[in-house]
A and B are shown apart, each in its own frame.
Chain A
Amino acid sequence: MLNKQKGNGMKKTLKLLALATALAITGAATAAAEQVKVGIAAEPYPPFTSPDASGNWQGWEIEFMKAMCAEAKLDCVVTPVAWDGIIPALTSKKIDMIIGSLSITAERQKTIDFSDKYYNTPTGIIGAKGDDITPTPEGLAGKTIGVQVSTVHQAYAMKHFAPAGVEVKEYQTQDEANQDLAAGRVDAVQADAIALDAFLESDQGKQCCDYKGEVAEDVDVIGPGVGVGLRKGETELKEKINAAIKAIRENGTYEAFSKKYFDFDIYGG
């Protein structure tokens, strides 16, 4: 537990001893280190996080988490929680940090704190093949657009598209929004361009849909990128994480695992 972080010297020594033993045996920090519960959304969100058949989570963000936690010497445990309850789960201490493609926004910063960004990707729109859609309020007027609930994309669509006569439909998971696009219940889906790309590359996505373009920028809503979500006031942990992000950026670890997933720099400008 994080609140027990300020343990006494004795505990620290024990912890170090245990850590050293664990390192000696397995070469990696195991249960002996300080456990940090990392909340991710309990839904398939490729290529960032998705469950495999043996119940393990994998993807770019899981690799980022492992690299970051190893660097910061934290024993991170993946804890899947429902996306729409991920911030309450953090504030009620069910989890200790969020690594779930959570964009840094002013609105969220009222409740929680963020580390520095660890990736930033454009926001795009996909639609049915052959459908004449442009990613602008005018181009979408009279259409229905699907977004995942309590995401920056929902906020963006409500601010820019809804006033222009676009019907905004919210989904609990990104996967459900994609499914409804494939089924023809919505005309377009707005989301992270990378996540949409993963869908377009699937068998189903190839058949039904294509990329319609990026939406116009709005940093107020979309935010400067994705950061690790933290409880307010936990500056010690935040500094550790920021230092770790910086370190894995500099020592090439970040690039190494990113290359497996992307052919461009996901960190953004």
Chain B
Amino acid sequence: MVGDSFINWSLLSLSAPGWGGLLLQGFLSSIEIAVGGYALGLLLGIGGASGKLYGGPLVRDLLECYTTVVRAVPELVLILLLYYAGTDLLNQVLGAFGIGTVDISGLMAGIFVIGVVQGAYSTEVLRGAIKAVPAGQIEAARAYGMSPFMVLRRITLPAMLPYAIPGLANLWLIATKDTALLAVVGFSELTLVTRQAAGATKAYLLFFCAAGALYLALTLVSNVFIGMLERHARRGFAEQR
């Protein structure tokens, strides 16, 4: 398979003798998991942050447990736990109720685990950002007679975004790379496909560099969007040097 030249670029071609098509498919799966996991994480984070800030003592304690435990256990362990033990447990519970078995696909397991992990971190990011909103602005909004929901929509959310975006952007970039962890359960995302391609062709350098370039491209494109979002969120702020 390996040609005479130092690097055999034809291995990367998109159709059959080349592995490029498979790599891109894997890359697409990685992005799917990252987007799904991040979206789920953001939802959990918004709920978690509101619960931690405005909830009762019980809610706050439960959320404290969630963020502590999830941030303490390595994601790799969580993935293995959910994918193998979790499916088994779910099927036993479903079996007890007389419902047939279900199969948690690698994709669902990946989105769920990354979502839960991201949720714990974004809870803390959002909580910090909300607390950074000057109390005076919220009091002023209340003084105008705004309902709590309107305060949230018009004051708290827009005012906290400039503080939250750098942290959330970090989390997004981490999510894109966390997808590689799913290789351990045999899910065909970019890292696993790369390892298979490299193993089958022995062109390790080429394929790992190609995967690195794809991850880098994802980050560069993300950075452009994050920059736009941040500029939008910080409109009206004096630029500090």
Contacts and interface: CB of A to CB of B under 8 A. Distances in A.
A52 B200 contact: yes
Given A81-B185, A88-B84, A93-B101, A203 B202 contact: yes
A95 to B, nearest CB: 10
Interface string B188-202: 100010011101101
A53 B186 contact: no
A53 B19 contact: yes
B199 A173 contact: yes
Given A54-B22, A93-B103, A173-B199, A80 B204 contact: no
A55 B87 contact: no
B25 A55 contact: yes
Interface residues of B, number: 31
B144 to A, nearest CB: 56
B19 A92 contact: no
Interface in B157-208: 183-186, 188, 192, 195-197, 199-200, 202, 204
Contact of A85 (B16, B19, B101, B186): B186
A94 B195 contact: no
Contact of A54 (B16, B184, B202): B16
Chain B binding site: helix, strand, loop or mixed by DSSP?
helix
B18 interface: yes
B2 to A, nearest CB: 6
A42 B195 CA distance: 10
Contact of B200 (A50, A80, A88, A94): A50
Nearest to B204: A179
B88 interface: yes
A256 interface: no
Which one of B22, B185, B188, B199 has the highest number of Cβ atoms from chain A below 10 Å of its Cβ? Answer: B199
A144 interface: no
B227 interface: no
B86 to A, nearest CB: 9
B199 A43 contact: yes
Nearest to A178: B199
Given A1-B100, A53-B17, 11 more contacts: A1-B101, A3-B101, A4-B100, A44-B199, A51-B196, A52-B16, A55-B22, A55-B25, A82-B185, A82-B186, A85-B80
19 contacts: A4-B100, A52-B200, A53-B17, A54-B21, A81-B185, A82-B183, A82-B184, A85-B80, A85-B184, A88-B84, A88-B88, A91-B88, A93-B91, A94-B87, A173-B195, A173-B199, A175-B199, A203-B2, A204-B202
Interface of A: 1, 3-4, 42-44, 46, 50-55, 80-82, 85, 88-89, 91-94, 173, 175, 179, 202-204
9 closest pairs, A vs B, by CB? Answer: A82-B186, A42-B186, A81-B186, A175-B199, A44-B199, A88-B84, A92-B88, A44-B200, A92-B87
